[in-house]
């Protein structure tokens, strides 16, 4: 299953010209089907069926991944990531309780990685987090039953649209305020 999902995810990613530099995931009900605070560290957790294949495909394509979780039990979340052999995949793990709907998490991720908000893609199961993080310029996708190939496709499609719109606005601004056109077109 994991290899099949990874192969499909690689095909989906390969269909896009513009890709995010960083994909950020929530944990509870996004990568796995439970709340950490309702579980014990002794348990063996499981991911949603497509989650690991998607993570592996993103890494293979050179796209960094990070975590933004408001879990009040960071110790359990971290233990589960270790048990699932996932910890080393993430360039940033911001796991702590917060009232800011994850804007603090994203400020820290940005500080740690240097990736601009408009070069990030975010998956979460809570609309309030999606709304708050979207306002920062991050392409944010609401997931119902965890992250899956359909949500990956939706996220990359939306990221492309947002990126292309921002480039058009940049071109308009440059042509209005400068004499020479901008020829850069990378997500850097």
**pLDDT 10s per residue in the chain (188 long)?**
889 999 999 999 999 999 999 999 999 999 999 998 899 989 999 999 999 999 999 999 999 999 999 999 999 999 999 999 999 999 999 999 877 779 999 999 999 999 999 999 999 999 999 999 999 999 999 999 999 999 999 999 999 999 888 877 777 777 777 655 555 555 55
**Which tokens in the block code for residue 45?**
């957790």
Residue 91: its H or E element = strand 90-95
All domains of the chain in start order, with CATH: 1-166 (3.40.50.1000)
DSSP 25-62: E-SBTTTBSS-GGGS-TTS-----TTHHHHHHHHHHTT
pTM: 0.89
The single residue of 26, 64, 124, 125 carrying the catalytic annotation is 26
Active site residue 125: no
Rounded CA-CA distance 186/188 in Å is: 5
Q: State the Cα–Cα distance between residues 143 and 151, nearest whole angstrom.
A: 7
The label of the residue with tokens 């014990």 reads: 40
Pairing assessment for the beta strands 64-69 and 139-142 based on DSSP bridges: unpaired
Query: Does the active-site annotation cover 182?
Result: no
Gyration radius (Cα) of the chain, Å: 17
Residue in 28, 64, 124, 125 annotated catalytic:
28
């Amino acid at each position: 299953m994991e290899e099949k999902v990874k192969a499909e995810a690689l095909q989906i990613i390969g269909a896009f010209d513009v890709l995010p530099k960083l994909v950020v995931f929530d944990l509870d009900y996004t990568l796995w089907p439970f709340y950490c605070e309702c579980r014990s560290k002794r348990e063996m957790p499981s991911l949603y069926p497509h989650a690991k294949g998607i993570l592996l495909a993103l890494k293979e394509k050179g796209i960094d991944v990070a975590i933004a979780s408001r879990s009040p039990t960071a110790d359990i979340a971290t233990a589960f990531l270790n048990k699932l052999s996932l910890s080393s995949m993430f360039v940033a793990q911001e796991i702590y309780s917060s009232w800011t709907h994850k804007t603090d998490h994203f400020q820290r991720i940005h500080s740690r990685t240097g990736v601009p908000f408009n070069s990030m893609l975010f998956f979460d199961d809570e609309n309030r987090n999606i709304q708050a993080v979207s306002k920062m310029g991050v392409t944010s996708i609401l997931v119902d039953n965890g992250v899956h190939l359909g949500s990956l496709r939706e996220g990359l499609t939306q990221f492309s649209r947002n990126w292309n719109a921002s480039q058009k606005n940049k071109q308009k601004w440059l042509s209005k305020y400068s004499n020479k056109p901008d020829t850069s077109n990378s997500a850097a």
